[in-house]
């Protein structure tokens, strides 16, 4: 424990040692999804396998000492697209290309707008209810959702924009319906008992890198959009959803540079986005990637406003090699030069399987990472959250 200092006890997310949310899919689940895709089993049979594996995962998370658990995103193929497809008015589409990562192209999948976007009866609400029904007393369920800005970027891409414009001639109408749809889903989750929402957001993570000129052509009448305009756009739409939510609903965000099959999409420090991201986005905490040189220094953390927490993603989820314990502890104290130690927590830099492919490590590896985070947190903050 650091210098016998007394730290505040975390009673809600984020906790001193935490997770981003996704876990490696068990082979049984992968097989069931393949059988469903091939038409060999029906939806009910797939759901039964998902249910079984999620219950097993929850028990593993609780055994690992986690106080905020997820369903591992076991019902999803993608961390973001499945949620988008759950909105009324949005459907699945196969584009010409997948997403481009460092040395790898993903599967081809995106969204298409077929009608006005609406958030009623979203399937993720029932997913949450199932998870909530199977956790032990005192264990919280963290519901991960892609950030509103993420949907906006997907819809305003050159691939999807022509279809969007058939339904939404103006950006203002599109923004309004995205906001309304998100608020509806979150209200339904809240009514179902959700008290922690995590907005996973790659939009800021992409802005840390130099973007191609045609990254988004959907604004200002089709004119290329500057980084500053994009920052304001992402901030505005995320805050439009967050503002007005119940006071006892915790909203955190995870900022990501891409996490697909152990590869990444963007590189660069947080310097370019720290203001307004750290100073003006209305979240409770930031889960930040800090597992490699691609993430830059801790200096931008000086922009984090005094009422917010930072979860340092110092343990990589991209491979199974365990980090040097003392180096991680040293880095936590280095970050504490910019954000007080009492407002810091520790996690992996991202989930273990942002898509169903998963990263290149074993199930034992992922639990060893969590055990290391727990052990380090107990030493640094003196916590024992069994």
pLDDT at 386 over 50: no
Query: What pLDDT, in 10s, does the model give residues 16-28?
Result: 999 999 999 999 9
Alpha helices in the chain (DSSP H): 27-37, 43-63, 81-85, 123-132, 148-155, 161-167, 171-191, 203-207, 227-242, 274-280, 325-335, 363-381
Query: What pLDDT, in 10s, does the model give residues 97-148?
Result: 665 655 666 667 889 999 999 999 999 999 999 999 999 999 999 999 999 9
pLDDT at 215: 43
pLDDT at 214 over 90: no
Mean pLDDT of 261-286: 83
CATH fold for the domain made of 2-26+57-381: TIM Barrel (3.20.20)
pLDDT at 219 over 50: no
Cα distance between residue 327 and residue 242, in whole Å: 36
Cα distance between residue 24 and residue 14, in whole Å: 21
pLDDT over 90, % of the chain = 73
pLDDT at 267: 60
pLDDT at 255: 94
Query: What pLDDT, in 10s, does the model give residues 56-74?
Result: 999 999 999 999 999 999 9
Cα distance between residue 187 and residue 122, in whole Å: 11
Least confident of 10-14, 27-31, 191-195, 381-385: 381-385
pLDDT at 157 over 90: no
Query: What pLDDT, in 10s, does the model give residues 297-347?
Result: 899 999 999 999 999 999 999 888 999 999 999 999 999 999 999 999 999
Q: How many helices (H) and strands (E) does the chain have?
A: 12, 13
In whole angstroms, how large is the CA radius of gyration of the chain? 20
pLDDT over 70, % of the chain = 87
Question: Comparing 203 with 332, which gets the higher pLDDT?
Answer: 332
Question: Phi, psi (5° rounding) for residue 272?
Answer: -70, -25
Mean pLDDT of 259-284: 79
pLDDT at 354: 83
pLDDT at 293 over 90: no
Cα distance between residue 63 and residue 65, in whole Å: 5
Mean pLDDT of 227-234: 91
The domain limits of the chain are 2-26+57-381
Question: Comparing 159 with 163, which gets the higher pLDDT?
Answer: 163
Mean pLDDT of 229-238: 95
How far is the CA of 155 from the CAs of 7, 40, 164, 343, in angstroms?
Answer: 44, 33, 7, 35
pLDDT at 216 over 60: no
pLDDT at 217 over 50: no
Beta strand 309-315 with 285-289 is: parallel
> Considering the chain, what is the average pLDDT of its residues?
90
């Amino acid at each position: 424990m650091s210098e016998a200092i007394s730290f505040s006890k975390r009673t809600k997310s984020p906790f001193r040692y935490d997770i981003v949310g996704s876990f490696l899919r068990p082979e049984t689940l992968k097989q069931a999804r393949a059988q469903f895709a091939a038409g060999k089993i029906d939806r009910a049979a797939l759901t039964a396998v998902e249910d079984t594996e999620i219950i097993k995962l929850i028990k593993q998370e609780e055994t690992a000492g986690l106080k905020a658990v997820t369903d591992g995103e076991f019902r999803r193929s993608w961390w973001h697209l499945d949620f988008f497809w759950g909105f009324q008015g949005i459907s699945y589409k196969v584009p010409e290309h997948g997403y481009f990562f460092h040395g790898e192209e993903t599967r081809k999948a995106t969204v298409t707008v077929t009608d006005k976007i609406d958030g009623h009866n979203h399937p993720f609400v029932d997913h949450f209810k199932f998870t909530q029904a199977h956790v032990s007393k005192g264990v919280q369920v963290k519901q991960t959702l892609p950030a509103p800005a993420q949907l906006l970027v997907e819809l305003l891409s050159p691939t999807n924009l022509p279809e969007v414009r058939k339904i939404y001639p103006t950006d203002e109408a599109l923004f309004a319906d995205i906001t309304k749809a998100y608020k509806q889903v979150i209200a339904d989750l809240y009514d179902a008992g959700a008290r922690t929402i995590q907005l996973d957001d790659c939009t800021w993570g992409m802005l840390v890198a130099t973007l191609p000129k045609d990254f988004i052509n959907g604004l200002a009448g089709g004119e290329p959009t500057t980084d500053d305009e994009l920052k304001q756009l992402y901030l505005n739409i995320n805050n439009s959803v967050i503002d007005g939510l119940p006071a006892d609903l915790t909203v955190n965000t995870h900022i990501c540079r891409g996490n697909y099959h152990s590869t990444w999409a963007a590189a660069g420090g947080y310097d370019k986005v720290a203001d307004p991201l750290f100073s003006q986005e209305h979240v409770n905490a930031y889960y930040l990637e800090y597992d490699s040189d691609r993430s830059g220094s801790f200096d931008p953390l000086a922009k984090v406003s005094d009422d917010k927490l930072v979860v340092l993603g110092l343990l990589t989820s991209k491979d199974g090699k365990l980090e040097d314990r003392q180096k991680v502890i040293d880095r936590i104290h280095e970050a504490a030069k910019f954000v007080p130690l009492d407002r810091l927590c520790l996690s992996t830099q991202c989930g273990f399987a942002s898509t169903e492919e998963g990263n290149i490590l074993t199930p034992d590896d992922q639990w060893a990472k969590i055990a290391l985070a727990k052990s380090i947190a107990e030493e640094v903050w003196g916590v024992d959250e069994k």
